Amino acid sequence: MLEPTGLTAAQRHQAFLLAIGLVRNLAQQLVDFDEEHDREWNRLTGELLDRHADRFPALTRAVAEGAFAATDFDPLAFGLDRLLDGVQVLIDRTARN
Predicted pLDDT of residue 47? 94
pTM of the model: 0.75
pLDDT at 84: 96
The 3-state secondary structure of the chain, one letter per residue: CCHHHCCCHHHHHHHHHHHHHHHHHHHHHHHHCCHHHHHHHHHHHHHHHHHCHHHCHHHHHHHHCCCCCCCCCCHHHHHHHHHHHHHHHHHHHHHHC
pLDDT of residue 69: 86
Residue ranges of domains in the chain: 19-96
Average pLDDT, consecutive stretches of 10 residues, N- to C-terminus, the chain (97 residues): 94 97 97 93 91 95 90 94 97 93
* Whole-angstrom distance, CA of residue 38 vs CA of residue 23: 21
